Amino acid sequence: MTDKQLKALEVALRRKAKRQGLILQKSRVRTLEAPSHGTYRLIDASRNSIELGDPSNGYGMSLVDIEDYLKEERWPVECDAESQQLASSVGHDHWSARGLAVDLAAARP
């Protein structure tokens, strides 16, 4: 992949992560020998905790790792009755996608 293609993938993954309530961060380490140099992690924005990353330094994931993780359906979303009603009113009946909880929170008046 060229630098331009990598940057485009990074930007696309940042948007996808944001829609799922996550933040994509790139390691700021400049030392080429450092294990986290040029790697990424995902942060859960609501809990401000590491969602995906090496336990030792928090980073360590490639863009391919991030892309694969964002494609997965990881956990069922537990919602209250109001959220379920709102979801059904906008046509959502699938509660296993992380992004739905974010969409529902944004859709509330």
pLDDT digit string, tens, across residues 20-62: 999 999 999 889 888 889 999 999 999 999 999 988 888 999 9
pLDDT the model gives residue 56: 83
pTM of the shown model: 0.64
User: What is the pLDDT confidence band of residue 93, given thresholds at 50, 70 and 90?
Assistant: very low
In angstroms, the CA 30 to CA 36 distance is 9
Phi and psi at residue 26, in whole multiples of 5°?
Answer: -105, 140
In angstroms, the CA 94 to CA 97 distance is 7
pLDDT the model gives residue 58: 87
In angstroms, the CA 3 to CA 58 distance is 24
**Residue with structure tokens 């991030």?**
66
